[in-house]
Amino acid sequence: MANGDLYPERICAFVDILGFRDYVAGLGNSASKVFVLIQALQRVHKPLFPGVSDLRDIQYRTQSISDAVAISVVPTVEGLIELFSVLQELSLNLLSEGYFIRGAIARGRLHHDDAMVFGEALIKAYDLEAQIVRYPRIMVVSNVVDVAKGADPLAVARRNRLRYSDDGPLYLHILQRMQQEMSEAVLGADNEETDRYGAYGQMKSMIEKRYKEAVDNPRHFEKVQWFARYWNATLPYNAASFRILGPGL
């Protein structure tokens, strides 16, 4: 087998579930909490998204241990879009339980099979998550999207799913689906949260809860505040009832 087959270039995401240790410590014998966690992580290991008929085409690989998840794909338009979709889904599922994700997506040499993952792409993503990302967001290294310059599917994905932060890094717009659904709905300032939007109402409540819990811890507070501002900036004008209120917002 050629070295290139064992250690090819891939796109790798490394994400950390913030507050995971506290969540696990509070599981106790709560079957419902354990089920929520298992279900969220299962979607990462066995994603089912329209548009990718066979995950073998993008060589989708994933590993999770404790509060960390590593996912990698081949450096193609299809692989990148699927990776974005998986991370958006994981982020929203955990946000409903009041937990944020922080991570990075990098490109480089990587060995990733069913038993192990190692390589420069993982190291780069890990180092960025630990040292640079800072806020609960998923940074996307600029050369990641270069894998398909000029490709129409990526142009759409980039426009809708990626944003530049005020402090520089490109990051994954995990609230893109919420923004789109609310923009297309007929909502008012006093809109009641229907079943369709109940999940977003749950997310709002959990963010507000984390916001109140963080007021006595400035280092933690700035992270939750960043996400609350991101949430509010994402809401369309007709969804004022979903706005998060609190100090500095």
Domain finish residue from 120, 152, 174: 174
In a domain, residue 237? The reply is yes
95 in the same domain as 72: yes
Measured at the CA of 186, the angle between CA 164 and CA 205, to 5 degrees, comes to 60
138 in the same domain as 71: yes
41 in the same domain as 13: yes
pLDDT in tens, the chain (249 residues): 455 678 999 999 999 988 767 666 666 666 666 677 677 777 677 665 545 546 667 888 999 887 899 999 999 888 888 899 899 988 998 898 888 999 999 999 999 998 899 999 999 999 999 999 999 999 999 889 887 666 666 666 666 788 988 888 899 999 998 998 888 776 544 445 445 678 899 999 999 999 999 999 998 899 999 999 999 999 988 888 899 998 888
What is the rounded distance in angstroms from the CA atom of residue 109 to the CA atom of residue 124?
Answer: 10
What is the rounded distance in angstroms from the CA atom of residue 44 to the CA atom of residue 87?
Answer: 8
Q: Are 117 and 64 in contact (CB under 8 A)?
A: no
75 in the same domain as 16: yes
What is the pLDDT, as a whole number, of residue 248? 87
In a domain, residue 181? The reply is no
Domain finish residue from 174, 203, 218: 174
What is the rounded distance in angstroms from the CA atom of residue 136 to the CA atom of residue 34?
Answer: 23
Residue with tokens 């959990």: 206
In a domain, residue 102? The reply is yes
202 in the same domain as 116: no
| Other Cβ atoms closer than 10 A to 243 | 13
206 in the same domain as 166: no
213 in the same domain as 130: no
- Which of 155, 138, 141 is closest to 230 using CA atoms? 138
211 in the same domain as 140: no
What is the rounded distance in angstroms from the CA atom of residue 75 to the CA atom of residue 81?
Answer: 10
Q: Are 99 and 173 in contact (CB under 8 A)?
A: no
Look at the chain and report how many structural domains it folds into: 2
Beta bridge mates, 12: 72, 106
Q: Helix, strand, coil proportions of the chain in percent (round to 5)?
A: 50, 15, 35
In a domain, residue 234? The reply is yes
201 in the same domain as 115: no
The SS3 of residue 166 is: coil
- Would you say the C-alpha torsion 73, 110, 140, 150 has a positive or negative sign? negative
Say which CATH number the domain at 7 has: 3.30.70.1230
Predicted structure pTM score: 0.87
Write the CA distances from 82 to 21, 38, 188, integer angstroms: 28, 21, 33
211 in the same domain as 101: no
Domain finish residue from 152, 174, 196: 174
In a domain, residue 164? The reply is yes
Write the CA distances from 102 to 40, 114, 134, 169, 197, integer angstroms: 16, 24, 8, 13, 25
In a domain, residue 207? The reply is yes
| Domain interval for residue 163 | 3-174
103 in the same domain as 224: no
27 in the same domain as 119: yes
What is the pLDDT, as a whole number, of residue 48? 56
Render the burial of 63-80: b for 16+ CB within 10 Å, e for the rest: bbeebebbbbbbbbbbbb
In a domain, residue 247? The reply is no
In a domain, residue 81? The reply is yes
Residue with tokens 């696990």: 24
Q: How far apart are the two ends of the chain, measured CA to CA in Å?
A: 56
